[in-house]
Amino acid sequence: MKNHSSLLKMILAALFLALAYVLPFLTGQIPEIGAMLCPLHIPVLLCGFICGWPWGLVLGFVAPLFRSITLGMPVLFPTAVCMAFELAAYGFVAGLMHRKLPRKKPYIYCSLLTAMIIGRLVWGAAMFVCMGVSGGSFTFAAFLAGAITNAIPGIIVQIVLIPVLVMILDNPKVINLRD
């Protein structure tokens, strides 16, 4: 049974990677909209919740780098590199908290909001380091704009959509990943 669960997690992680690759095409023609809706975040968060923190961490790190290397979007440095750390934190925190906390609606929101906050802080730290290394600067105002102000539509979509999908997909009658 454990092998079946591992195989199913691998298949689902591949599906989430495919979604992470394709979803940004829905907003890719208008980069400003893509930056506001954060389409890469959704499959990574779902992967962390459904497949667990190791899969969420790896998928979160790989997805933006894979898109950058194969499509040139997002730009590799500093955008994709910083997103890799941010999304890895998303997948890790969402998966870890979902595993440790009871699988009830309030705890799903708690896990999601914590993952979103920590991920954005990690993104800010990564941007600060990358911009410093490249001779630029990353101010607190730039952090607030990039992490919160410009991302409000994406934050709302994540808060509305992710818990509903987690409750549906986390049901053992839909996908049984429980070891």
Please write the tens of the pLDDT for every residue from 51-77.
999 999 999 999 999 999 999 989 999
Select from 110, 145, 109 the least CA-distant residue to 124.
145
User: Among residues 68, 6, 70, which one has the least CA distance to residue 40?
Assistant: 68
Kindly report, residue by residue over 9-30, the tens digit of the pLDDT. Answer: 999 999 999 999 999 988 766 7
Is this prediction's pTM over 0.85? Answer: yes
- CA-to-CA distance for 61 and 1, rounded, in angstroms? 28
- 103 phi, psi to nearest 5 deg: -85, 65
Q: Which domains does the chain have, with CATH numbers?
A: 2-169 (1.10.1760.20)
